[in-house]
Structure 1
Amino acid sequence: MDVFVYGTLTEPDRVASVLDSFVFVGAAVLEGCHPVAGRYPTLAPGGETAGRLLRIDDVAALDDYEGVDEGLYVRASVPRTDGGEAAVYVGDPDALDVSEPVTWPGSGSFADRVRAYLDANARVRPEHS
């Protein structure tokens, strides 16, 4: 599985502390979301975010690291501009004490609003050299 990473997981040493096996595929840009600082980095609607594509086998370990079961982050699939999909983790701004107000449009739970927005508005664009 490919994952678009934009925060601490862009650092190989950090990834190695979480996963036994991984490969950085290359640079990428997430179109449709911009980064927001907080206790941990997260995303907000609009703009774009530079990051990397990380190829992994153990999504459960990454979910644990990101606190998915605790509601800290939501994992969602985003289409890639070159075909296929990449997972993206989006942190709950209320849980992360973010530096700016963040509102995800729509109704329903935080996870539902994030997934609906990403499905309609976001794409991962690999940066090929």
Structure 2
Amino acid sequence: MDVFVYGTLTEPSTAERLLDRYEFDGRAVLRGLYRVDGSYPTLAPGGRCEGRLLSTSEVATLDRYEGVDSGLYVRRSLPADDGSTVECYIGDPAQLGVAVTWPGTGPFADRVDRYLDTSDVGVTIR
């Protein structure tokens, strides 16, 4: 499975510490979301973000690292320009100390889903 990474997981030392099997598959650009730095990097609506593709079957390990169970990050599938799907982690700005507003009301995950459903968000693989 390919994962678009844009923060600490772009570092080989982090991936090596966490994962038994992984490979970096090159550079990618995420359109429709841009990087914002807080306690940890996250994404915000609009713009674009440079990153890397990390290929691994150990998504459960990445979910634990990103705090998916606690709601720190949500993992979402995004379309790529080659017809594939790429996973991406998006952090809750309230928990990361970032002044970012996601449109709409309700829980963070629901606002992310609505934005992704109504916006041109996707990954260009280089």
- TM-score bucket of the superposed structures, by smaller chain: over 0.9
Q: Which has the higher mean CA deviation after the structures are superposed, 79-88 or 104-113?
A: 104-113
C-alpha separation between the residues in 2 aligned to 1:110 and 1:79?
A: 21
Map of 1:114 onto structure 2: 112
Give TM-score scaled by structure 1 length: 0.93
* Corresponding letter in the other structure for 1:2: D
Query: Following TM superposition, by how much is the alpha carbon of 1:84 offset from its aligned partner in structure 2, in angstroms?
Result: 1.2
Give structure 1 regions of 4+ aligned residues with deviation exceeding 2 angstroms.
Answer: 118-121
Q: Structure 2 matches for 1:1-129, cutoff 5 A? A: 1-98=1-98, 101-121=99-119, 122-127=121-126
Contact 1:78 1:119 in 2 (8 A): no
Task: Give 5+ residue unaligned stretches, structure 2.
Answer: none
C-alpha separation between the residues in 2 aligned to 1:125 and 1:59?
A: 21
Deviation sequence 1:3-26 (CA, Å, 0-9, x none)? 000001000110111111101111
Q: How many residues in Structure 1 have an aligned counterpart in Structure 2?
A: 125
Query: Which SS does the other structure have where 1:68 is aligned?
Result: coil
Q: Percent identity?
A: 58
Deviation sequence 1:34-66 (CA, Å, 0-9, x none)? 110100000000000000011110110000000
Task: Give 5+ residue unaligned stretches, structure 1.
Answer: none
